[in-house]
Amino acid sequence: MPASKKIALTKKTQISGTKDQILEVALNLFIAQGFHATPTSQISKEANVSTGTLFYYFPNKNLILEQLYLSIKKELSTYLQQQDNFNLPTKKRLFTCLKSYVEWIDANPKKTVFLDQFYHSANISKTIKQEAYDEFDRMKEIVEAAIYEGILKELPLEFHLIMVECIMNGLMSLVKSGKTKLSNDQLIAAGLDMLLKN
Amino acid sequence: MPASKKIALTKKTQISGTKDQILEVALNLFIAQGFHATPTSQISKEANVSTGTLFYYFPNKNLILEQLYLSIKKELSTYLQQQDNFNLPTKKRLFTCLKSYVEWIDANPKKTVFLDQFYHSANISKTIKQEAYDEFDRMKEIVEAAIYEGILKELPLEFHLIMVECIMNGLMSLVKSGKTKLSNDQLIAAGLDMLLKN
Amino acid sequence: MPASKKIALTKKTQISGTKDQILEVALNLFIAQGFHATPTSQISKEANVSTGTLFYYFPNKNLILEQLYLSIKKELSTYLQQQDNFNLPTKKRLFTCLKSYVEWIDANPKKTVFLDQFYHSANISKTIKQEAYDEFDRMKEIVEAAIYEGILKELPLEFHLIMVECIMNGLMSLVKSGKTKLSNDQLIAAGLDMLLKN
Amino acid sequence: MPASKKIALTKKTQISGTKDQILEVALNLFIAQGFHATPTSQISKEANVSTGTLFYYFPNKNLILEQLYLSIKKELSTYLQQQDNFNLPTKKRLFTCLKSYVEWIDANPKKTVFLDQFYHSANISKTIKQEAYDEFDRMKEIVEAAIYEGILKELPLEFHLIMVECIMNGLMSLVKSGKTKLSNDQLIAAGLDMLLKN
DNA sequence: ACCATCGGGACCTCCCGTTGGT
DNA sequence: ACCAACGGGAGGTCCCGATGGT
C-alpha cells in the first residue's frame, strides 16, 4: 500500500496532524535560521503541505510563531505541574520545580533554544506573552509560599519571579554552550543556592 | 585642544555628524520596531539623508546594527572601567562594578533596551559579538579574583560570568517593567547578594 | 398551489434558499466593496455556508456576479412590463415607463447601485449583457413607436435608446446623491421633457 | 549612437519621462484588460522599467489609476477652458463647450474610454474624484449663467450639471459603438437640443 | 446538500542596494 | 559628501477552486 494512500485513509483520524506537522517544521527552521530568515514557502515545503494549507491553518506567519510559543510554554508548565506535589513542604516543592525545569530543558533542547531565542521577540504580541505567563500561576504560588515561610529572602514577589526565570535562562545558556562540565544536579543545586535565603 | 577631542567629550549633546545622526535614528527605530521591521528608507528619511547617503556610510543594513551594538557595548565597558579602581579590595571592586552597571542602565534606557533586545540577534555576527565580549576582560579579571579569594563560590568562571549577566538582565527587566519599588541600591545589594558566597 | 410558486411570490421577504441567501449576501458585499475586493470566503462566511457549498451552487465567482446581474435586470424588466399597458397611447406608455423606472429605483436602492456599478464591468460576459438587453425589447418597441408617431425627435433609434438609459442613470445619480430637492414626479417630468420633441 | 545611450544622456532633461511613460502604458492596459486584470508586473515590463522604478513613482497600484484619472480630467478641463471665451454670449459659450467636449472625445479615444470605464470605479477615492470635479468650475459657471439667462430650464444647477455629463457620456458611447451615422456636429446639436429650454 | 481540508498559483508590496552625476 | 533615480528580486498574503467524505 503506497504511503500516500495510507495518509489519505487516516486523514480523518489524525485531525490536524497537519497543523502539528507545520508547527514542528517551523520550530526547527526558526531556531536554525531565525524567524525572518525563514520564508513561509520553506515551511510549507518541508512540511509537505501547500502554501494554501499553511494559510488555512495560520492566516499569517506571526501566528505560527505565537502558536509555537504558546504551545511550548504550555507544555513546559504542564510538565512542571505534573511533577509538583501539594503535600510536600515548600522547600521541597521549590527544589522539585527547578529540577523539573532543568529536566525539561535537558529533554527538549530545541524547544529550549526556541524559548531562549524568542523570549524577547517583537513578533510575539503582549497578549500571547501574558497568556503564556498566566500558565505559570502555580509556580507563582510556590514562590509566594517560599517567601512567606522565609525560605526565600524577603523581597518582592516580582523580584524572585524574574530571578527564577533569569537563572533558568542562565542555566539553559550554560547547558547549551557546552562550556560547563557541571552535572545537571550540580547546576540545579548552584541555581537553587543563589535563590535561597543563604 | 583639537576639535575632534571636543566633539568626543560633548558627544551626547552635539551629535552633528551625519553618521552619528544615522546611528541615533537607527537606535530609536530598531528598539521601537525591531530590526527587520525597520526599512533603511525610514532610517534615511528620519535622519534627513537620502538612501544613497546611508549606504555611503554603511555598505549594508547589518553593519548599522553591528556598529550600533559595538559602540554601545564599548561605551558601557568604558564607563565601567572608568569607575573601577585597581587599588581597592576585590569585593569593593565587584560591588562598584555592579553599581556602575545599574547606574549606566539607569542613565541609558534606550541603549539598555537595545542590548537586551539584540543580545540574541542572528544579525550580529559572531565576530562582532566576540569583539564586544573582549571589551569586558577587566570584569572577567575581577570575577576571577573574586573566585580565587573565596568571595564567590567555587564554581567555574563561566558559571559566574553568565550569572552576572543574567542577574544584570533581570535587574534591567525589573527596572524597565516599573513593577518594583526597590531603589537602585537595594537592587544592587540584592543582586550582589545572590552572587556572593552567602 | 405548489410550494415553489408560493416562494416565488413572497421572494422578497422569505429568502430561505441557500442560493438566494448567497446572492443576497453577494449583492451587499459587491456594492460595498466591489467585486474583486470581495473574496468568496467572505461571501460564504456571511451567508453561513462553507466555501464548498458556494462552489456547489456557483461553479465560479464570476457566475455569482452574472446571475446577480441577470436576475436584477429581469426583475426590473418584469416590473416595467407589468406596469405597461398596450392599449394606452404611446406618449402615455412612455411616461409610464419612465415613471415605473424611477419607482423601481426608489424601491430598490441596493440593486440600483449594483446596476450602476457593474454596468461597465469586464466580469460580465457579452452574452449575459446581451441576454439582459433583450429583456427590454418592449421598451425598444415603445421608443420605436414614439419616433414613428413624432413624439420623439427624428433621430436614430440607437440615439434615443442610449439617451433614455443615460437620463435614467442621471436621475439615479441625482436621487442617490441626495443633492436634489425635486420630487420623483418632477424628476420624471424633467427627464421626459428632455427626451420629447420639445 | 545607440538608443540606450541617448536615453541616458537625456535622462536629466526628460524629468519623469519615466513617470509619463508608465502612465501611458497603464492607460492602454487598463482600458484593454481592466484594472484588476492588469498586473503591475505587466505595466513595468511594457514600460521598460523595473518594478522598483514603478514603486518609486507609485507606491501602490491604485495611485497609478488615480493619477491617470486626475491627469486626464485635468487635460480635458484645460482644453475646454482654452476654447472658452468670456466675451461671447452664454449660449455661444455653452455650445462651444459641448463642441469642444466632443472634439476632445474624438481626438482622445483612449482617454475617453478610460473616463467612461473608471467613472464608477471603487478604486478611485472620493478625494480624487472631488479634486477632478473641482477642475470644472468654469463649466459650472457657464451653466449657472445659462440658467439665469433662461437659456436652460429653471431647474436646480445640480440637475443640469449631471445631465450635461450624462449626455456627454451618452454621446461618447454612441461614438465609440460606431452604431451611429450622425456626424459630430449633428450629435452636438442633438445633445444641446436636449439640454436647452426647448 | 453540504462541508472540512487542502492545492497551487500569482499578485502586490516593498526592501536592499547601485549608479551616475554634482 | 550627497542624492535622485533606478534595478531586481523575493516574500507574505490570500484567493479561487478541487476533492472526498457524509
SS (H, E, C) chain B: CCHHHHHHHCCCCCCCCHHHHHHHHHHHHHHHHCCCCCCHHHHHHHCCCCHHHHHHHCCCHHHHHHHHHHHHHHHHHHHHHHHCCCCCCHHHHHHHHHHHHHHHHHHCHHHHHHHHHHCCCCCCCHHHHHHHHHCCHHHHHHHHHHHHCCCECCCCHHHHHHHHHHHHHHHHHHHHHCCCCCCHHHHHHHHHHHHECC
Report the candidate in B38, B66, B43, B65 with the shortest Cα–Cα distance to residue B54: B43
Among the partner residues D123, D170, D198, nearest to C162 by beta-carbon distance: D170
Is strand E in 7 Å reach of the CB of B61? yes
Is strand F in 7 Å reach of the CB of D7? no
Chain A contact set for B181 (CB, 8 A) = 156
Q: Do chains C and D touch (3 or more CB pairs under 8 A)?
A: yes
Sequence-distant (≥ 6) Cβ neighbours of residue B26 within 8 angstroms: B38, B43, B47, B64, B65, B68
**Grid coordinates standing for C177?**
446623491
Maximum C-alpha span of chain D:
66
Please tell me which residue of chain B has the smallest CA distance to A165.
Answer: B170
Nearest nucleotide to the CA of C17, by C1', is: E1
Chain A contact set for B140 (CB, 8 A) = none
Interface subset of C 108-167, CB within 8 angstroms of D? 116-117, 119-120, 122, 153, 155-156, 158-159, 162-163, 165-167
SS3 C103: helix
Q: Are C108 and C153 in contact (CB under 8 A)?
A: no
Sequence-distant (≥ 6) Cβ neighbours of residue B65 within 8 angstroms: B26, B30, B35, B118, B121, B123, B124
Indicate if the pLDDT at residue C185 is higher than 50.
yes
Highest mean pLDDT (candidates A95-99, D80-84, D174-178): D80-84
At B166, the amino acid letter reads C
Report the candidate in D197, B157, C73 with the shortest Cα–Cα distance to residue A179: B157
d(CA B71, CA B132): 9
Q: What is the pLDDT of residues A63-109, one digit of tens each?
A: 999 999 999 999 999 999 999 999 999 999 988 998 898 889 889 98
Neighbours of D53 (CB within 10 A): 16
Indicate if the pLDDT at residue A48 is higher than 90.
yes
Q: What is the pLDDT of residue A121?
A: 86
Across chain A, what does the average pLDDT equal? 87
Report the candidate in A159, A74, A68, A57 with the shortest Cα–Cα distance to residue A117: A68
Nearest nucleotide to the CA of C55, by C1', is: F17
d(CA C47, CA C25): 6
Q: Are B84 and B138 in contact (CB under 8 A)?
A: yes
Sequence-distant (≥ 6) Cβ neighbours of residue A74 within 8 angstroms: A132, A135
At C156, the amino acid letter reads P
Among the partner residues A34, A158, A169, nearest to B174 by beta-carbon distance: A158
Contact criterion met (CB < 8 Å) for B166 and A167: yes
d(CA D118, CA D65): 9
Placement of cell 452604431 in the chain? D179
Q: Which residues pair with D152 in a beta bridge?
A: D196
**Grid coordinates standing for D71?**
491627469
Sequence-distant (≥ 6) Cβ neighbours of residue B114 within 8 angstroms: B27, B30, B31, B68, B69, B72
Average pLDDT of the segment spanning C19-25: 94
Q: Are B110 and B28 in contact (CB under 8 A)?
A: yes
Least trusted range by pLDDT, from C4-18, C80-94, D138-152: C4-18
Q: What is the pLDDT of residue C16?
A: 52
Radius of gyration of chain A (CA): 20
Among the partner residues C155, C166, C177, nearest to D169 by beta-carbon distance: C166
Chain E positions within 7 A of any protein Cβ atom are 1-22
Split at pLDDT 50, 70, 90, the class of D198 is low
Contact criterion met (CB < 8 Å) for D166 and C162: no
Tally C-beta pairs within 8 A across A and B: 75
Q: What is the pLDDT of residue C1?
A: 40
Split at pLDDT 50, 70, 90, the class of B13 is very low
Q: What is the pLDDT of residue B183?
A: 83
Please tell me which residue of chain B has the smallest CA distance to A189.
Answer: B155
Chain A contact set for B120 (CB, 8 A) = 116-117, 120
Chain D contact set for C170 (CB, 8 A) = 162-163, 165-166
Highest mean pLDDT (candidates A21-35, B92-106, C148-162, D174-188): A21-35
Split at pLDDT 50, 70, 90, the class of C173 is confident
Which chains have 3 or more CB–CB distances shorter than 8 Å to chain C? D
Maximum C-alpha span of chain A:
66
What phi-psi label fits residue B32: left (phi over 0), alpha (psi between -120 and 50 degrees) or beta?
A: alpha
Q: What is the pLDDT of residue C122?
A: 84
Q: What is the pLDDT of residue A16?
A: 60
Is strand E in 7 Å reach of the CB of D38? yes
Q: Burial, C191: exposed, middle or buried (Cβ in 10 Å; 0-12, 13-18, 19+)?
A: buried
Q: What is the pLDDT of residue B15?
A: 41
Neighbours of A93 (CB within 10 A): 22
Q: What is the pLDDT of residue A11?
A: 39
Helix axes C61-83, C126-134, angle to 10 degrees: 10
Chain B contact set for A174 (CB, 8 A) = 158-159, 162
Q: Are B112 and B118 in contact (CB under 8 A)?
A: no
Among the partner residues B122, B166, B193, nearest to A166 by beta-carbon distance: B166
H or E element in which residue C51 lies: helix C51-57
Chain C contact set for D169 (CB, 8 A) = 166, 169
B193 touches chain A (CB under 8 A): yes
H or E element in which residue A27 lies: helix A17-33
Task: Give me the percent of chain D exceeding a pLDDT of 70.
Answer: 91
Q: B37 or A15: whose pLDDT is higher?
A: B37
Q: What is the pLDDT of residues B86-100, one digit of tens each?
A: 999 998 998 899 889
**Grid coordinates standing for D81?**
477652458
Q: What is the pLDDT of residues A139-177, one digit of tens each?
A: 999 999 999 999 998 889 889 988 988 888 888 788 777
Q: Are C150 and D173 in contact (CB under 8 A)?
A: no
Least trusted range by pLDDT, from A67-71, B146-150, C102-106, D181-185: D181-185
Q: How far is CA A4 from the centre of its chain?
A: 33
Split at pLDDT 50, 70, 90, the class of C40 is very high
Neighbours of B81 (CB within 10 A): 15
Q: Burial, C171: exposed, middle or buried (Cβ in 10 Å; 0-12, 13-18, 19+)?
A: buried
Least trusted range by pLDDT, from B91-95, C178-182, D134-138: C178-182
Chain C contact set for D198 (CB, 8 A) = 198
Average pLDDT of the segment spanning C10-20: 58
Q: Are C167 and D160 in contact (CB under 8 A)?
A: no
Helix, strand, coil share of chain C (percent; to 5) = 70, 0, 25
Nearest nucleotide to the CA of C47, by C1', is: E2
Q: How far is C29 from chain D (nearest CA, A)?
A: 13
Chain B contact set for A33 (CB, 8 A) = 122
Q: What is the DSSP letter of A123?
A: T
Placement of cell 522547600 in the chain? A91
Please tell me which residue of chain B has the smallest CA distance to A35.
Answer: B122
Average pLDDT of the segment spanning A120-127: 89
Q: Which residue is nearest to nucleotide F19 (CA to C1')?
A: C52
Average pLDDT of the segment spanning A105-126: 89
Sequence-distant (≥ 6) Cβ neighbours of residue B16 within 8 angstroms: B7
Neighbours of A127 (CB within 10 A): 9
Task: Please tell me the total number of residues recorded for chain B in this structure.
Answer: 198
d(CA B118, CA B27): 11
Distance in Å from F13's C1' to D159's CA comes to 45
Q: What is the DSSP letter of A22?
A: H
**Grid coordinates standing for C106?**
426608489
DSSP-assigned letters across all residues of A140-196: HHHHHHHHHTTSB-S--HHHHHHHHHHHHHHHHHHHHHT-----HHHHHHHHHHHHB
Total H helices, total E strands in chain C: 11, 0
Contact criterion met (CB < 8 Å) for B119 and A120: yes
C170 touches chain D (CB under 8 A): yes
Distance in Å from F13's C1' to D106's CA comes to 43
Is strand F in 7 Å reach of the CB of A112? no
Indicate if the pLDDT at residue B116 is higher than 50.
yes
Q: What is the pLDDT of residue D170?
A: 86
Indicate if the pLDDT at residue B131 is higher than 50.
yes
A193 touches chain B (CB under 8 A): yes
Neighbours of D61 (CB within 10 A): 18
Q: What is the pLDDT of residue D10?
A: 37
- Torsion angle of the four alpha carbons C88, C94, C98, C104, in this order, in degrees rounded to the nearest 10: 40
d(CA A64, CA A57): 9
Distance in Å from F11's C1' to C164's CA comes to 51
**Grid coordinates standing for B79?**
564607563
Average pLDDT of the segment spanning B45-70: 96
Least trusted range by pLDDT, from A43-52, B144-153, C181-190: C181-190
Neighbours of C99 (CB within 10 A): 19
Q: What is the pLDDT of residues B146-179, one digit of tens each?
A: 999 999 988 898 899 888 888 888 887 887 777 7
Q: What is the pLDDT of residue C7?
A: 36
Chain F positions within 7 A of any protein Cβ atom are 1-22
d(CA B102, CA B71): 18
What phi-psi label fits residue D83: left (phi over 0), alpha (psi between -120 and 50 degrees) or beta?
A: alpha
d(CA B11, CA A190): 43
Average pLDDT of the segment spanning A48-70: 96
Which chains have 3 or more CB–CB distances shorter than 8 Å to chain B? A
Considering only residues 156-185 of chain D, list those whose CB is below 7 Å from strand F: none
Is strand F in 7 Å reach of the CB of D18? yes
Q: Are C94 and C146 in contact (CB under 8 A)?
A: yes
Please tell me which residue of chain A has the smallest CA distance to B113.
Answer: A120
